[in-house]
A and B are shown apart, each in its own frame.
Chain A
Amino acid sequence: MEKFTTLTGIAAPMPLVNIDTDMIIPKQFLKTIKRSGLGANLFDEMRFTQDGKEIPDFVLNQPAYRNAEILVAGDNFGCGSSREHAPWALLDFGIRCVISTSFADIFYNNCFKNGILPIVMPREVVDILMEDARKGANARITVDLETQTVTSSDGKEFSFEVDEFRKHCLMNGLDDIGLTLEKAASIDTFEKSAAQARPWV
């Protein structure tokens, strides 16, 4: 997994609430057996017409936002299915950070497994950052995971919360499985005692 430390980039505004995983990556693109290449179909049905032409109004099709690395999104971003294809598609497009008032639990969790930082901010801060994002390519937002701050293009600084363990893994690009396998002895012990207590499992 790629590390996440700091990021200064263009933020695209997506104020719509309840952006679901079917919008982020429609099901016809889940038939892949790879993790890569999904960026071309990120937000496919919002971004392209049925015959594959770009819909000019869609934010990521606008010249200012084509290279966006941050999304500032409406409430409950990523609701719906558990498909990790959603963060894979965001990452493949180049999005490394999503800022919203709230995220669906599974999506939020999936982001951390892929080097994407989801940031929960109070509504008034999301509103400020949304306005900032609307300024387009000249407005660059800075995200610093070490200091847990987001800085708007005009220098306003906001702090955010993140679990220590998730932060540690993201900052160091750590593989969860490797970390857990270091605890293999504890898993063995648990399995032995569980086999006694609940042999039917």
Chain B
Amino acid sequence: MSPKTLYDKIWDAHIVDTQDDGTCLLYIDRHLVHEVTSPQAFEGLRMTGRTVRAPDKTIAVPDHNVPTTLDRLKGIDNPESKIQVDALDKNAKDFGIHYYPVSDVRQGIVHIVGPEQGWTLPGMTVVCGDSHTATHGAFGALAHGIGTSEVEHVLATQTLIQRKGKNMKVEITGKLKPGVTAKDITLSVIGATGTAGGTGYVIEYCGEAIRDLSMEGRMTVCNMAIEGGARAGLIAPDEKTFEYVKGRPHAPKGAQWEAALNWWRTLYTDENAHFDKVVTLKGEDIAPVVTWGTSPEDVLPITGSVPAATDFSGGKVEAAQRSLDYMDLKPGTLLKDIAIDTVFIGSCTNGRIEDLRAAAAILKGKKIKDGMRAMVVPGSGLVRAQAEEEGLAQIFIDAGFEWRLAGCSMCLAMNPDQLAPGERCAATSNRNFEGRQGRGGRTHLMSPAMAAAAAITGHLTDVREMM
């Protein structure tokens, strides 16, 4: 048998049917659903008289629209947001799928809830109508975003019509230096490959620096595979993975656990398996980074300065100039001199407990700069509860942060948490697109520790100077 990559193995284990032209029907083990990309799909089922084929494998949670203020159980003010969340409530009930409503402590961002509840397991196929489904690849699951037509297709058939992607290896060798995190790895990879570098590929992240990451760090890395153009990112499961999964509410137990473990231990890329593209970065070369522009590929070490449009070539010249204008930045300005007025810590990229610990470690005993608007939005109700138990919440509150309830919040600003035109935000989220956090708002992406440091100083800051 020819050697296989991890992606090949998971793919092969899920093929229901292959057509002559190579188009496959792939079985889906877990379907995660949220309120924004599903209403039209459920409506489609109703119109055609179809049902959900595997309600036991379908898990729904509202996250994009939900307010994160403490009074949210009084209801949603925005009528359209309310309709979407109400529609998910009704659809979950009507079709009998697993559901975590806003009032449930387990509610949170779908990509945080899935792993937390043990829905996401190694070797699975996982889809969701959300591009950051790539997050679940951290468990060695083939996980990617789908559109609403495909959501309807999976609801009705528990399968997806797919063409196999190509294999790409991203290896991070060696050790990371102090102050450098999973977020810096994933942003640095995108900086090196560009936002289309992974288009058509499934990425497998490997190497010592990846192995050394916790499961939460691995989720941060895989989460942003899509920002590099790859629908899915994968990391081979290992003892850390099994340890993380064990005992979670929906993880296998007893004899099934042993059987699962036996299979999971076969989920790695065989020696000499073929990769169509290989990118290697040295862990020790990666610095704490920030984005300066309006594409996640606009990444520089915090010690750098704003580039000029003429530093680029081809179509990127116009795009870079547009970014500089939008971000109101002058070439040559030191990144550390860029003043900010808002800090957002949260999102499916960096809204887990370790992210909050990293930010709190910087903030402990300190105050945010006068006039700064800063908020922490935990990724789930359980993350929030744990942070309160560990005393992290009090550190954030004492420093001047707002301590919110779980949701996507200002990552995409579909709920009331938004930037006003011209406001500039240090954000731990995943996209710095124009208008992403609010029309005219300016986003600099970075790690939780870097965002915490910026909250204190009022400008982009090298966290290593505060450690």
Residues of A bordering B, CB below 8 Å = 15-18, 20, 22-23, 26-28, 30-35, 45, 50, 74-76, 79-84, 87, 102-106, 109-110, 113-114, 163-165, 176-177, 179-181, 183-184, 186-187, 190-191, 194, 197-201
Kindly state the separation between the CA atoms of A22 and B165 in the bound complex, as whole angstroms.
25
Are A80 and B149 CB-contacts (below 8 A) given A16-B319, A199-B259? no
- Cβ-defined contact, A105 with B231, below 8 A: yes
- Cβ-defined contact, A104 with B229, below 8 A: yes
Q: Does B301 contact A (CB under 8 A)?
A: no
- Cβ-defined contact, A200 with B121, below 8 A: yes
The closest CB in chain A to the CB of B160 belongs to: A180
What are the residues of chain B within 8 A of A191 when measuring CB–CB?
27, 158
Interface membership of chain B positions 117-155, coded 1 if the CB is closer than 8 angstroms to chain A and 0 otherwise:
000010110000111010000000000111111101100
Interface membership of chain B positions 185-225, coded 1 if the CB is closer than 8 angstroms to chain A and 0 otherwise:
00000000001100110000000000000000000000000
Distance from A123 Cβ to chain B, minimum over Cβ atoms (Å): 9
Are A113 and B318 CB-contacts (below 8 A) given A75-B196, A84-B37, A190-B16? no
Contact of B260 among A80, A104, A198 (CB under 8 A): A198
Distance from A189 Cβ to chain B, minimum over Cβ atoms (Å): 8
What are the residues of chain A within 8 A of B163 when measuring CB–CB?
163
- Cβ-defined contact, B161 with A74, below 8 A: no
Contact of A106 among B231, B316, B440 (CB under 8 A): B231
- Cβ-defined contact, B318 with A31, below 8 A: no
Residues of B bordering A, CB below 8 Å = 16-17, 19, 21, 23, 25, 27, 29, 36-37, 39-40, 43, 48, 50, 53, 57, 64-65, 78, 80-81, 83-84, 87, 121, 123-124, 129-131, 133, 144-150, 152-153, 156-159, 161, 163, 165, 195-196, 199-200, 226, 229-231, 252, 256-257, 259-260, 263, 295, 314-316, 318-319, 322, 412-414, 421, 431, 433-436, 439-440
Distance from A158 Cβ to chain B, minimum over Cβ atoms (Å): 20
- Cβ-defined contact, B315 with A183, below 8 A: no
- Cβ-defined contact, B19 with A106, below 8 A: no
Kindly state the separation between the CA atoms of A23 and B434 in the bound complex, as whole angstroms.
7
Contact of B196 among A35, A102, A181 (CB under 8 A): A102
- Cβ-defined contact, B84 with A22, below 8 A: no
- Cβ-defined contact, A82 with B131, below 8 A: yes
Kindly state the separation between the CA atoms of A80 and B411 in the bound complex, as whole angstroms.
13
Are A183 and B16 CB-contacts (below 8 A) given A31-B83, A82-B146, A84-B37? yes
- Cβ-defined contact, B23 with A180, below 8 A: no
The closest CB in chain B to the CB of A1 belongs to: B149
Kindly state the separation between the CA atoms of A173 and B121 in the bound complex, as whole angstroms.
37
Contact of B17 among A31, A181, A183 (CB under 8 A): A183
Kindly state the separation between the CA atoms of A32 and B159 in the bound complex, as whole angstroms.
26
- Cβ-defined contact, B433 with A80, below 8 A: yes
Contact of B263 among A17, A28, A198 (CB under 8 A): A198
Contact of A200 among B159, B260, B295 (CB under 8 A): B260
- Cβ-defined contact, B16 with A106, below 8 A: no
- Cβ-defined contact, B196 with A79, below 8 A: yes
What are the residues of chain A within 8 A of B133 when measuring CB–CB?
82
What are the residues of chain A within 8 A of B157 when measuring CB–CB?
177, 180-181, 184, 187
Kindly state the separation between the CA atoms of A75 and B229 in the bound complex, as whole angstroms.
12
What are the residues of chain B within 8 A of A179 when measuring CB–CB?
161
Interface centre among B81, B87, B149, B156 (most CB of A within 10 A): B149
Contact of A76 among B229, B257, B413 (CB under 8 A): B229
Distance from B396 Cβ to chain A, minimum over Cβ atoms (Å): 26
Are A30 and B149 CB-contacts (below 8 A) given A16-B319, A74-B315, A79-B196? no
Are A28 and B421 CB-contacts (below 8 A) given A16-B315, A180-B153, A200-B121? no
- Cβ-defined contact, B23 with A163, below 8 A: yes
What are the residues of chain B within 8 A of A45 when measuring CB–CB?
434-435, 439
Kindly state the separation between the CA atoms of A132 and B467 in the bound complex, as whole angstroms.
57
The 7 closest A-B pairs by CB, nearest first: A200-B252, A31-B80, A113-B149, A82-B145, A84-B147, A110-B147, A33-B39
Kindly state the separation between the CA atoms of A81 and B414 in the bound complex, as whole angstroms.
14
- Cβ-defined contact, A186 with B25, below 8 A: yes
- Cβ-defined contact, A82 with B130, below 8 A: yes
What are the residues of chain B within 8 A of A83 when measuring CB–CB?
36-37, 147
Contact of B149 among A15, A32, A76, A84 (CB under 8 A): A84
- Cβ-defined contact, A20 with B153, below 8 A: no
Contact of A199 among B29, B81, B256, B434 (CB under 8 A): B256
What are the residues of chain A within 8 A of B43 when measuring CB–CB?
33
Distance from B93 Cβ to chain A, minimum over Cβ atoms (Å): 16
- Cβ-defined contact, B149 with A201, below 8 A: no
What are the residues of chain A within 8 A of B436 when measuring CB–CB?
22, 27
